[in-house]
């Protein structure tokens, strides 16, 4: 699999999102998925301290074992966990990292990401603390998540001469093109890597959901009290997903292939991370990177899901 840059790191074009670990997958099934990813050439694993109520980090570290040094591990901090306050204060940053290192069973994190902006803490203070962690050898690169273009600009000048965020992880997919308004341009101009989350729109871009048909049972969007269903199972989005599915099939591919290939053809995108609950899903995700879309493909996609507009 090809690799791309996130700061000084080289990551596989397709990464593995670890949000299912500790929630939908126990330790044994997590290991199956992680091992399948490694066999498929995936070297980028993205988790967070809040995933699986901290079990995701634990299960990931256990599954990687002796192969830890051969992969890129990204995790996040800032969301409240275990009844704590969360946030991005210097004291909390260091506390959160040490806890993540223990769970991951490692002495460093390759990419340490602020999960969301903290309006109560000046970003310069957060960057200062993260810089200290880099100096200590506990973190290699730092990133952000859910940042606006304005916030990306602010962090690039917050502490001149100090480490800066090398990436931003925001929602982006064929059905959610908002980053095109400003964020992608900001990333391109400043050399910040963009990591899209929800690249499959919560599973809507897998071909399982078809217009005019009841949604399949046993999926993430049809689980009881699913928090994602109201966001993605909308009539217009299901219709668009159906048209994209037809486009992909007309070219001998799946809509999942299309979702990955389209994102990998967008400016600043470094790696497409998606969760998986089986080895088969991991292999399908990895294979999707082999398709390079043509200009005609991009134009047809724009007809179905128009670019974001202010």
pLDDT digits (tens, 9 = 90+) for 74-90: 999 999 997 788 999 99
Catalytic pick among 51, 59, 112, 172: 51
Q: Give the span between the Cα atoms of 273 and 197, in whole angstroms.
A: 6
The two three-digit tokens of residue 267, written as one number: 């400016």
Q: CB-hemisphere CA count at 13 Å for 95?
A: 13
User: Among the CATH numbers 3.10.270.10, 3.20.20.100, 1.10.3720.10, 1.10.260.40, which is that of 3-203+263-289?
Assistant: 3.20.20.100
pLDDT reported for residue 255: 97
Task: Name the pTM for this structure.
Answer: 0.94
pLDDT reported for residue 137: 98
Average pLDDT score over residue span 125-154: 96
Average pLDDT score over residue span 103-111: 98
Considering the chain, what percentage of its residues have pLDDT values greater than 70? 98
- The reply to whether 209 belongs to the active site is no
Average pLDDT, the chain: 94
Decide if 65 contacts 104 (C-beta within 8 A): no
Decide if 228 contacts 201 (C-beta within 8 A): no
Q: Give the span between the Cα atoms of 79 and 84, in whole angstroms.
A: 9
Instruction: Say whether 152 sits in a helix, a strand or coil.
Output: helix
Instruction: Find tokens 């939908």 and name the residue.
Output: 24
Partnered with residue 72 across adjacent β-strands are 44
Inter-axis angle of helices 90-104 and 55-64, nearest 10? 50
Q: Give the span between the Cα atoms of 39 and 88, in whole angstroms.
A: 36
Q: Give the span between the Cα atoms of 141 and 10, in whole angstroms.
A: 11
Q: Give the span between the Cα atoms of 111 and 128, in whole angstroms.
A: 16
pLDDT digits (tens, 9 = 90+) for 22-78: 999 999 999 999 999 999 999 999 999 999 999 999 999 999 999 999 999 999 999
């Amino acid at each position: 699999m090809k690799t791309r840059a996130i700061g000084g790191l080289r990551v596989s074009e397709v990464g593995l999102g670890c949000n299912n670990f500790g929630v939908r997958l126990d330790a044994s099934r997590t290991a199956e998925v992680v091992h399948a990813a490694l066999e498929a050439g995936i070297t980028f694993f993205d988790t967070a301290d809040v995933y699986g109520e901290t079990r995701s980090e634990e299960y990931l570290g256990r599954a990687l074992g002796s192969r830890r040094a051969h992969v890129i591990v990204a995790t996040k901090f800032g969301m409240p966990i275990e009844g704590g306050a969360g946030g991005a204060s210097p004291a909390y940053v260091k506390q959160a990292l040490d806890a993540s290192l223990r769970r991951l069973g490692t002495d460093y994190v390759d990419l340490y990401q602020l999960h969301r902006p903290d309006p109560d803490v000046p970003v310069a203070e957060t960057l200062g603390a993260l810089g200290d962690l880099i100096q200590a050898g506990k973190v290699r690169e730092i990133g952000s998540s859910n940042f606006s273009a304005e916030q990306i600009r602010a962090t690039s000048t917050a502490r001149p001469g100090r480490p800066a965020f090398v990436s931003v992880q925001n929602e982006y997919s064929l059905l959610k093109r908002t980053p095109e308004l400003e964020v992608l341009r900001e990333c391109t101009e400043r050399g910040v890597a963009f990591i899209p989350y929800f690249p499959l729109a919560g599973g809507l871009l897998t071909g399982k959901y078809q217009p005019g048909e009841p949604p399949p049972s046993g999926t993430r969007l049809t689980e009881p009290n699913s928090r994602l269903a109201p966001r993605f199972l909308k009539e217009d989005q299901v219709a668009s997903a159906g048209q994209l599915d037809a486009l992909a099939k007309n070219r001998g591919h799946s809509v999942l292939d299309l979702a990955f290939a389209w994102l990998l053809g967008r400016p600043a995108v470094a790696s497409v991370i998606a969760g998986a609950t089986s080895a088969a899903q991991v292999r399908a995700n990895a294979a999707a990177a082999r398709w390079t879309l043509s200009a005609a493909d991009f134009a047809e996609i724009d007809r179905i899901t128009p670019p974001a507009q202010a």
